Amino acid sequence: MASQNQGVSEEIQGVLSALHAALPTIAEAAPQGEKERRVSPEVMQLLRETGALDVCRPKRFGGPEASLREMLEVSSLIGTADGGTAWTVMLANVGSWLAALLPTEAQQEIFGPNKDVIVTGVLAPTGVATPVDGGFKVSGKWFYNSGSWYSDWGIVGFPVFDEAGNLVNQAIAYIRREEYEIEETWFVAGMKASASNAIEATDVFVPEHRVLYLPPAIEGSYPSETASDEPAHRAAFVPVLAAVLLGPTLGVAEAALRYVADKAASKSVAYTFFSSQSESAAVQIEIARAAQIIDSCRALLFDVADRVDSWAAEDVYPDFAERARIRGNVGFISEQLPLAVEKLTVAHGSAAYGDSSPLQRYWRDAKVGASHAVVNPLVGFETHGKALVGAEGQITPLI
């Protein structure tokens, strides 16, 4: 039975308890997920049974309506068993969170008919959209749609132009699975099981009620008629989308720490007089340094989550400086977690990189998971720094 997690509802605690019991099965299936570049159907079914894929379903549709902290608790726990699986779950959950920001009519279409609906997608505006009566016709190809094979709805981004061809807006649209194709493009070093493939659509009609305009959303204006009564759906847009990406990598780093610490007693330090790594002060120190980095990252990440959730509960939208601070904090965490895993692989020795060792998967998953553009450290640091010194200009709209 899992211990009680601070700031977690009884319903989400039940999910976490079920996940604890499922972790050995998820970990055992990880090599298969890597090989097939998707989470196995058996593990996906297990995740459904735990409720892990449904934590962001709105309460109006029978779900627990998770907070940011609760989303992170779920994905980081799964990440201790497998990063690719955790990434798939994380994207499915934040996809549902995004869908819950839409008008009620769209939410009914998405959540109403299917209690197990999975929404995934890509915010990058790489599509084209033509205004038509009642909405848009959307075409394009979008990289990279994590969890692609299991998604029922896809989120696709596109720029909006006026009649003169001037860029006037940016939006995301929600399209049904039968309206787009999947192209296998996810041939990468890590997070292989996340199935982050490209999706492609041609002339798909999207009604206006299934379109979310990003500039208003970034400032906290959502089209949902019920958001004012639902704290989870008042949460700050970019802080949620950025911080949630770090849950899987945090779990991966914690798994790497546990693995190296557990193996220290039975593994020697090659070409030394140490019969076990646990006797070596150098190894002890390096493992401790990695642990301190990981602990610090967890504390900072959950501090971000608690601030975002508190603002939402109080119906206060954070100002620019606070949102810029979160982008900086997120960048710092995404920089530090792979460094901690790197320290652990060095401390463990060359066996870390053998195909038979899960540590090499943790190492690759941490690097790839932390490379997502929205958690880019340099962008986060510059964004935060500009806000701190009052410098003019922004380098990203995602603040």
Among 167, 196, 224, give the residue marking a domain's end.
224
Is residue 29's pLDDT more than 60?
yes
Is residue 323 within 8 A of residue 238, CB to CB? The reply is yes
Based on the fold, state whether residues 361 and 337 are members of the same structural domain. yes
Based on the fold, state whether residues 244 and 373 are members of the same structural domain. yes
Q: Which residue is listed with tokens 């970990």? A: 27
Token pair belonging to 363: 């190492």
Based on the fold, state whether residues 257 and 349 are members of the same structural domain. yes
Q: Which residue is listed with tokens 């627990």? A: 64
Nearest CA to 56 out of 72, 45, 71 is that of 71
Is residue 310 within 8 A of residue 236, CB to CB? The reply is no
Based on the fold, state whether residues 220 and 279 are members of the same structural domain. no
Q: At residue 291, what are phi and psi to the nearest 5 degrees?
A: -60, -40
How many other C-beta atoms are found inside a 10 Å radius of the C-beta of residue 21? 12
Can you tell me whether residue 250 is helix, strand or coil? helix
Based on the fold, state whether residues 250 and 138 are members of the same structural domain. no
Based on the fold, state whether residues 253 and 299 are members of the same structural domain. yes
Q: Angle at which helices 358-369 and 10-36 pack, to 10 degrees?
A: 110
Based on the fold, state whether residues 245 and 220 are members of the same structural domain. no
CA-to-CA separations, 392 to 105, 377, 387, in angstroms, rounded: 40, 20, 9
- Give me the percent of the chain exceeding a pLDDT of 90: 93
Is residue 2's pLDDT more than 60?
no
Based on the fold, state whether residues 306 and 187 are members of the same structural domain. no
Based on the fold, state whether residues 55 and 143 are members of the same structural domain. no
**Domain total for the chain?**
3
What pLDDT is attached to residue 311?
A: 97
DSSP 8-state code for residue 221 = -
Based on the fold, state whether residues 289 and 265 are members of the same structural domain. yes
Query: How many Å apart are CA 132 and CA 258, to the nearest integer?
Result: 55
- Prediction pTM value: 0.95
Can you tell me whether residue 261 is helix, strand or coil? helix
Query: How many Å apart are CA 150 and CA 110, to the nearest integer?
Result: 15
Based on the fold, state whether residues 141 and 93 are members of the same structural domain. no
Among 116, 138, 169, give the residue marking a domain's end.
116
Edge-to-edge strand ranges of the sheet holding 127-132: 127-132, 135-145, 197-207, 181-183
What pLDDT is attached to residue 4?
A: 61
Full residue range of the structural domain in which residue 63 is found:
10-116
Nearest CA to 90 out of 107, 115, 73, 110 is that of 73
Is residue 1's pLDDT more than 80?
no
Query: How many Å apart are CA 339 and CA 352, to the nearest integer?
Result: 15
Is residue 361 within 8 A of residue 33, CB to CB? The reply is no
Tens of pLDDT, residue by residue over 252-283, are: 999 999 999 999 999 999 899 999 999 999 99
Tens of pLDDT, residue by residue over 345-357, are: 999 999 999 999 9
Token pair belonging to 300: 């900072």
Among 52, 84, 116, give the residue marking a domain's end.
116
